[in-house]
Amino acid sequence: MKLWFYALLFFFPLLASAQKDFSGVWKGTLTQEPGGFAPVYEFELYLRQDGNKVTGRSYVAIGSIYAVMDLKGVQEGNTVHLTETNIVNNWKREDMEWCYKKADLTMYIQGKQVKLEGPWSGNTGHNDCIPGKIYLKKEAPRA
């Protein structure tokens, strides 16, 4: 009985401090405060984590307008700090500029669903973007 007690004392802190893995496909929405192009966009993240470094791509769309961007970030506890770095593919109207976003997204579990949520801000390279929030759910891995 004492052996179990000491084993729990040793392993519980290790389990409690286990690193969160943000790798995978996350799908949901990105919102933008009043004054933006639209209040809600389709948004996806495709993330790969190695230690506390995170890389991947983001996808944002509204109707036929879309962008795919490379991103990088760092994981700290339940939060990942992401920065879009470069446009990979896109289609937009001539009068539009893409916003390179930065986001601080926190992972949590609600029921059986793993979620990632938090604020974003950004810049077009010329102007600040109207900020908003990101709401994502982790997709189940496919065979």
- Concatenating the DSSP letter of every residue in 117-142 gives EEEEEEE-SSSBPP-EEEEEEEPPP-
The span from the CA of 56 to the CA of 47, in Å, is 5
Answer left, alpha or beta for residue 39, where phi above 0 means left and psi between -120 and 50 means alpha: alpha
Distance of CA 104 to the CA centre of its chain: 8
- The domain ranges of the chain are 21-122
| Assigned token pair, 35 | 């004054």
User: pLDDT at position 31, please?
Assistant: 98
Print pLDDT tens along the chain (143 aa).
555 444 444 444 434 445 689 999 999 999 999 999 999 999 999 999 999 999 999 999 999 999 999 999 999 999 999 999 999 999 999 999 999 999 999 999 999 999 999 999 999 999 999 999 999 999 988 76
Q: Which tokens hold the place of 123?
A: 């810049």
The pLDDT score that the predictor gives to residue 1 is 54
DSSP character string of 53-84: EEEEEEEEEETTEEEEEEEEEEEETTEEEEEE
8 A C-beta contact, residue 130 and residue 122: no
Residue recorded with tokens 């791509």: 57
